């Protein structure tokens, strides 16, 4: 647990859970303090460690929501499975483990609120809080290796960011005749358009194009974006995303960051993530359009936006099933 660098409150909660020291209805009934064994939400199910640690329907719902935002969280059948599973994640998929521990803690907190006030937090607000907590404890240092192992399931389509966040997809395009460009598109948690850009590159190097796309963000980010809860920068070149994660990690240790990346520190939180080509489709369109000339769109009514872009934007938004 120490290695997960959890928020101290969450670490303490898990330590208590492990030591059977959480006042669940099962524990209270066993000690003759209460008579009801069940979970206050899932009445007929006994509220023991297995339940609090993962079986509760509330935990499943919150996890399902977070998965929809494109972050992977595992589910476990019982508490023993859970401890074993978390152990396997440590060092490899710290983010997934951290998110899981935070979900369980927040769902327990919400359960106590339910007992005391008769009301509890919505699945949505718990899920959004979980993301903020997990990011704070890993500030600018997200490990998203889990995107690789679960790529087939996760990246088959574009995922919106959590509420209050912005996601910026970036991509590079190369043509044989020495032409290259970068492009990207920023959207909110409902998949709504915020801005898109494309920029022709003067010179290029195959491996560097996608990195250029990220660096070019410096020229297009708007002041108001820094007010968002955080920003997820997503690309489909695994090497580049890994490289960026590494330099951010170095920053955390040495407080030194390359000048070209320093603008990222203005955001409240930054997460780099890797997606499949399909999940990055709209950024790919922007990068290819940039070969015809640079552009910056901040309004969908902009006459220069081609139908191919609008069509793809609408499709990805519709796929979310929301507004």
Q: Which residues of the shown chain bind Zn ion in the complex (CB under 5 A)?
A: 39, 41-42, 56
Q: How far is the CB of 43 from Zn ion (least distance, A)?
A: 8
Q: Which is nearer to Zn ion, 111 or 167 (CB)?
A: 111
Q: Which is nearer to Zn ion, 42 or 90 (CB)?
A: 42
Q: How far is the CB of 58 from Zn ion (least distance, A)?
A: 6
End-to-end CA distance of the chain: 40
Name residues whose C-beta falls within 8 Å of residue 175's C-beta, 6 or more positions apart in sequence.
Answer: 291
Tokens of 316: 């990805």
DSSP bridge pairs for 200: 181
Q: How far is the CB of 75 from Zn ion (least distance, A)?
A: 14
Q: How far is the CB of 99 from Zn ion (least distance, A)?
A: 19
Q: How far is the CB of 111 from Zn ion (least distance, A)?
A: 8
Q: Which is nearer to Zn ion, 120 or 316 (CB)?
A: 120
d(CA 91, CA 16): 23
Q: In 192-237, where does DSSP find H-type helix?
A: 209-220
Q: How far is the CB of 59 from Zn ion (least distance, A)?
A: 8
Q: How far is the CB of 97 from Zn ion (least distance, A)?
A: 22
Q: Which is nearer to Zn ion, 39 or 127 (CB)?
A: 39
What DSSP designation does 195 have? E
Q: Is 242 left (phi over 0), alpha (psi -120 to 50) or beta?
A: alpha
State which H helix or E strand residue 63 sits in.
helix 57-68
State which H helix or E strand residue 106 sits in.
helix 94-117
Q: Is 14 left (phi over 0), alpha (psi -120 to 50) or beta?
A: alpha
Q: Which is nearer to Zn ion, 63 or 291 (CB)?
A: 63
Helix (H, G, I), strand (E, B) or coil at 274: strand
Q: Which is nearer to Zn ion, 48 or 284 (CB)?
A: 48
**Strand residue runs (E) in the chain:** 165-175, 179-187, 193-201, 230-235, 270-274, 295-297
Q: Which is nearer to Zn ion, 41 or 238 (CB)?
A: 41
Q: Which is nearer to Zn ion, 24 or 275 (CB)?
A: 24
Contacts from 305-312 at CB under 8 Å and sequence distance 24+? 305/196, 309/196, 309/282, 309/285, 312/281, 312/282, 312/285
Q: How far is the CB of 36 from Zn ion (least distance, A)?
A: 13
């Amino acid at each position: 647990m120490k290695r997960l660098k959890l928020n101290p409150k969450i670490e303490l909660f898990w330590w208590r859970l492990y030591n059977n020291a959480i006042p669940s209805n099962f524990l209270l009934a066993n000690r003759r303090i209460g008579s009801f064994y069940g979970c206050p939400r899932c009445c007929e199910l006994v509220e023991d460690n297995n339940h609090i640690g993962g079986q509760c329907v509330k935990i499943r719902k919150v996890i399902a929501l977070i998965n929809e935002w494109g972050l992977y969280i595992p589910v476990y059948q019982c508490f023993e499975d859970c401890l074993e599973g978390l152990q396997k994640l440590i060092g490899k998929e710290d983010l997934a483990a951290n998110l899981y521990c935070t979900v369980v803690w927040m769902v327990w907190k919400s359960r106590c609120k339910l007992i005391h006030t008769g009301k509890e937090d919505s699945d949505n607000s718990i899920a959004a809080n979980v993301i903020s907590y997990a990011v704070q404890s890993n500030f600018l240092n997200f490990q998203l290796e889990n995107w690789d192992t679960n790529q087939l399931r996760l990246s088959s389509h574009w995922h919106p960011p959590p509420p209050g966040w912005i996601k910026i997809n970036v991509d590079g395009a190369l043509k044989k005749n020495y032409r290259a460009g970068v492009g990207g598109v920023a959207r909110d948690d409902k998949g709504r358009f915020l801005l898109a850009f494309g920029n022709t590159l003067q010179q290029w190097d195959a491996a560097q194009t996608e990195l250029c796309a990220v660096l070019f963000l410096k020229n297009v980010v708007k002041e108001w974006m820094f007010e968002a809860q955080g920003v997820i920068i997503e690309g489909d070149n695994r090497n580049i995303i890994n490289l960026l994660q590494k330099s951010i990690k170095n920053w955390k240790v040495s407080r030194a960051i390359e000048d070209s990346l320093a603008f990222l520190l203005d955001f409240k939180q930054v997460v780099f993530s890797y997606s499949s080509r399909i999940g990055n489709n709209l950024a790919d369109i922007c990068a290819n359009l940039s070969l015809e000339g640079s552009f910056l769109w901040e309004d969908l009514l902009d006459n220069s936006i081609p139908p191919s872009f609008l069509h793809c934007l609408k499709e990805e938004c519709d796929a979310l099933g929301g507004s």
